[in-house]
Structure 1
Amino acid sequence: MSVADRVVVVGDVMTDVIVRPEGPLVRGSDRRARIESRPGGSGANQAVWLGSMGAKVSFVARVGAGDKPHLEAYFKGFHVDPILVADPQEPSGVLVILVDADGERSFLTDRGANLALEPSDMPVWLLDETRLVLVSGYSLFAEGPRRAVLQLAGEARSRRIPIAIDAASVSFLREVGVGTFLEWTRGMSTLLANADEAEALSGTGDLNEQMIALGACFERVVIKRGARGAAVGGRQGVRVDQPAPQVDVVDTTGAGDAFAAGFIAAELEGADEAECLRRGVEAGSKAVEHLGGQPTTTRIVLGPGRRGRRDDGRS
C-alpha cells in the first residue's frame, strides 16, 4: 500500500469508563456493578480499527500533556501514526458508558483537551500523501475543534481529496440543529450515520427516503442500522443493503467506528460497494462481541466467507 492510500482521521481521544450495573440504577442508593477503563473516543476507535486492518492511517487529536507519551506508544502498537498535540492545561477526555443488560449504552461525556483542538494542530502537510480524510462529527459540535476541522476540510477539498464525516451523536445533532450540521458538512463526499442520526438529518424513518434526502447533500450515504445491517446509496435511493449476522452482543460501544473502518479499509483495497458494506458489517459485528470500543488484537483480517481472522490463528 502506497503513502497515497493514507487515511487521515481527526477526532477525540477518550478514556472510556464502562459501567455494567447488575440491575436498574437505584436513585439515592447503591447498585453493584462491574467497572472497567478502556481506551476510547470515536476518532481513536476508527483509527485503531483501521490500523489493525492494515490500512495506513494517521490520527490527529489533542490530549493532556501527561498522557501524550503512553498514548503515542499505544497507537503505534496498533500500526497508527499518532499526531497528538499535548495540551498544557486540559486533561484528556473521559467518557462514562452505562451499559444496559441488552448491550445498549448511554454516555456521560467530558471531552477535556479535545475541545481545545486548534487550526494550527492540523497536519496540512500530510495531505500530499492522503487518499481520504475521515472526520468524527464530535469535532464539529464545539467551536474550537470545528474551526480546525473545517480548515483542514477546506484544504482537502482544494486538493480534491474526499472527506467522510461520521454524524457521531443524534443528541448533539438535535442540539446544534440539522440545518447547521448540513451547512458545516457541505462539500464533504461521504456521510456515515446510524439509523437515528439518519432519521434526524433526513426527517424520515424510511431508509430509501433517507438515502434520497441525504443524497442531495452528499455524494454517498452510508447508514448503519445495528442488528439490521447497513446500506449504502445516494440521491437515487438505496444501492446496496447488507444484513447483519446474529451475534452475542456484549457491548455496542464502538461498533459504528469498527464498521466505518471496515468499509474504508475495503475501499482502499479496491473493493466495490457491496464488499465494502459486507466488510463494514462484519467488523461492526465483531466489535459488539467484546467489551470496549477498540479491537483486542493488533491485526484483524476480514474477507469473503470469514468472520474476521486474528493473526494468532484463533477465530
Structure 2
Amino acid sequence: MTERRLDVLCIGNAIVDVISDTTDAFLEKEGLTKGSMRLIDAEEAERLYSHMGRAREISGGSAANTAAGIAAFGARAGFIGQVAPDQLGQFYRHDLTAAGVEFTTPEANFGVPTARSMVLVTPDGHRTMNTFLGAAQHLPPTALDEQQIASAAILYLEGYLWDPEVPRNAMVRAIEVAHAAGRKVAFTLSDTFCVDRHRDGFTQLIDGGHIDILFANEAEILAMGGVPHLDTAIGAIKDKVETLVVTRSEHGAVATQRGDRAHVPAQPIDKLVDTTGAGDLFAAGFLTGQAKGLSLEQSLTLGAIAAAEVIQHYGARPEADLKALAGAVLA
C-alpha cells in the first residue's frame, strides 16, 4: 500500500467566494429565493456583482472549505480542483495554501475564468448563493495526481462537482484509485437540487458500494430516500454505506456505522451570523475524527464544534482555534 501522507484529500469546485451583506428587499428585487443556490453564466455574474454592496473574497467551494477546516484541526489536508491562469486563480491558490492545504493541481486555460460565487447574507444569517462555475467545471481526469490520491486515508468528494461530465469522470477515476489503494471514499450530497438532478447517478454510486462515508443534511437524505420521514430515509440507505452522517441544523447530527448509531446535539452558540459553510465544516470535523481513529460520537462532536464556530461569523473559514475548541476530544 502507498504510504499514508494525507489524512483527507478533497476534490471539488475551486470557487472564489464573494461574500456581501444584503437585505430581503434586495433579494426580492433581484428575483432571488432566499437560501437557494443557483448556477449562473458569466454575464449574470458580472451583472449581479455590479449590483452587490461591499464584499470580501476568499478561496471557497464546498470541498475546499472542508479541506481548510481539516487543516485548522491540525490534520493533513489536500485539495484537487481547477483554476484558470488569471488573477482570481492565483489568489485562490495562495489563499488555500496559506490555510495549510496542499493544492498542487496545475492551472489550465479552457477559455473561461476562475469560478466565483456571489454569496448574499441576510440579517437572519441565511445565505443565497449565485455561482458561476467557470474553470472549475472543466477538471479532467488527467489533472488528478493518482499518487496523491493513493496517499490519502480518506478521499472526499462533493456532489456539486458531479453535474458536468468532465469532472464527473475525474471523480469516478479518483474513486477507483482510492479503493485500489485500500482507502476510504467519502461523498456529500451537497444540495437537494443535486439530488433531484442526479438521483440515478448517486444511487448507482451508493448501491454499487463505491461510497464508504455518505454525508447529507435532513432535506437531502429525505430527497435521496424518497420518503417523508427521517428514520425511514436513514433506514433505506444506512446498510448501503459503511458510515452515514446526517446533519440536522439546530437539532444536531446523527450517524450510523456498521450497525452502531450515535447522535450529538448542536453546540451552543452566542449568535447566528452566517450559515455559509456549516455543512462543510461539520464534514471537516467528522472526517478529522475518522482519519485519526476516533469513535463515531467523538467524530460527530468535532463536526458540531466546527459547524458552531463557523456560523457565528461571516464566511466559511474558522476564525477561532479549532484545535483549542476541540480540547480533550482530539487529545
Q: Please report the TM-score for the alignment, with normalisation by the length of structure 1.
A: 0.88
Alpha-carbon distance in structure 1 between the residues aligned to 2:61 and 2:324:
23
Whether contact under 8 Å (2:187, 2:215) holds in the other structure is yes
Alpha-carbon distance in structure 2 between the residues aligned to 1:215 and 1:90:
40
Amino acid of the residue matched to residue 229 of structure 1? G
Amino acid of the residue matched to residue 36 of structure 1? R
Whether contact under 8 Å (1:22, 1:33) holds in the other structure is no
Match of 2:132 in 1: 110
Match of 2:227 in 1: 204
SS in 1 for 2:105: strand
Alignment CA distance shift 1:28-1:266 (3 Å): closer
Deviations 1:36-65 (A, max 9, x none): 333311111011111111111111110011
Q: What RMSD in Å do the two structures reach over aligned CA positions?
A: 2.6
Match of 1:283 in 2: 306
SS in 1 for 2:106: strand
Match of 1:77 in 2: 98
Whether contact under 8 Å (2:125, 2:272) holds in the other structure is yes
Alignment CA distance shift 1:33-1:211 (3 Å): same
Alpha-carbon distance in structure 1 between the residues aligned to 2:214 and 2:8:
16
Alignment CA distance shift 1:123-1:147 (3 Å): same
Q: CA offset at residue 303 of structure 1?
A: 2.2
Whether contact under 8 Å (1:136, 1:166) holds in the other structure is yes
Amino acid of the residue matched to residue 96 of structure 2? F
Match of 1:311 in 2: none
Deviations 1:51-82 (A, max 9, x none): 11111111111001124444333222222111
Match of 1:161 in 2: 183
Alpha-carbon distance in structure 1 between the residues aligned to 2:305 and 2:299:
10
Match of 1:7 in 2: 8
Whether contact under 8 Å (1:211, 1:234) holds in the other structure is no
**Residue 240 (structure 2) pairs with residue 217 (structure 1):** yes
Alignment CA distance shift 1:40-1:210 (3 Å): same
Deviations 1:228-251 (A, max 9, x none): 111101585x71111103321110
Whether contact under 8 Å (2:23, 2:122) holds in the other structure is no
Unaligned runs of 5+ in 1: 309-315
Alpha-carbon distance in structure 1 between the residues aligned to 2:161 and 2:286:
21
Q: CA offset at residue 22 of structure 1?
A: 3.6
Match of 2:41 in 1: none
Task: Name whichever structure is richer in strand by fraction.
Answer: 1
1:171 to 187, 190, 193: 193
Whether contact under 8 Å (1:132, 1:164) holds in the other structure is yes
Alignment CA distance shift 1:297-1:195 (3 Å): same
Match of 1:21 in 2: 22
Alpha-carbon distance in structure 2 between the residues aligned to 1:269 and 1:73:
27
Q: CA offset at residue 298 of structure 1?
A: 7.7
Match of 1:36 in 2: 56
Amino acid of the residue matched to residue 290 of structure 1? H
Alignment CA distance shift 1:23-1:8 (3 Å): closer
Match of 2:153 in 1: 131
1:193 to 190, 195, 216: 216
Tell which deviates more after alignment, 14-23 or 243-252. Answer: 14-23
Q: CA offset at residue 6 of structure 1?
A: 2.7
Q: CA offset at residue 12 of structure 1?
A: 1.3
**Residue 49 (structure 2) pairs with residue 49 (structure 1):** no
Q: CA offset at residue 129 of structure 1?
A: 2.0
Deviations 1:194-230 (A, max 9, x none): 1111111012343322221111331110001111111
What count of residue pairs does the alignment treat as equivalent? Answer: 304
SS in 2 for 1:245: coil
Amino acid of the residue matched to residue 196 of structure 1? A
Amino acid of the residue matched to residue 136 of structure 2? N
Deviations 1:169-213 (A, max 9, x none): 11122123x222221453210101111111110123433222211
SS in 1 for 2:29: coil
Alpha-carbon distance in structure 2 between the residues aligned to 1:18 and 1:126:
32
Q: CA offset at residue 159 of structure 1?
A: 2.2
Tell which deviates more after alignment, 14-23 or 259-268. Answer: 14-23
SS in 2 for 1:216: helix
Whether contact under 8 Å (1:115, 1:144) holds in the other structure is yes
Alpha-carbon distance in structure 2 between the residues aligned to 1:77 and 1:300:
17
Q: CA offset at residue 100 of structure 1?
A: 2.8
SS in 2 for 1:293: coil
Alignment CA distance shift 1:24-1:69 (3 Å): closer
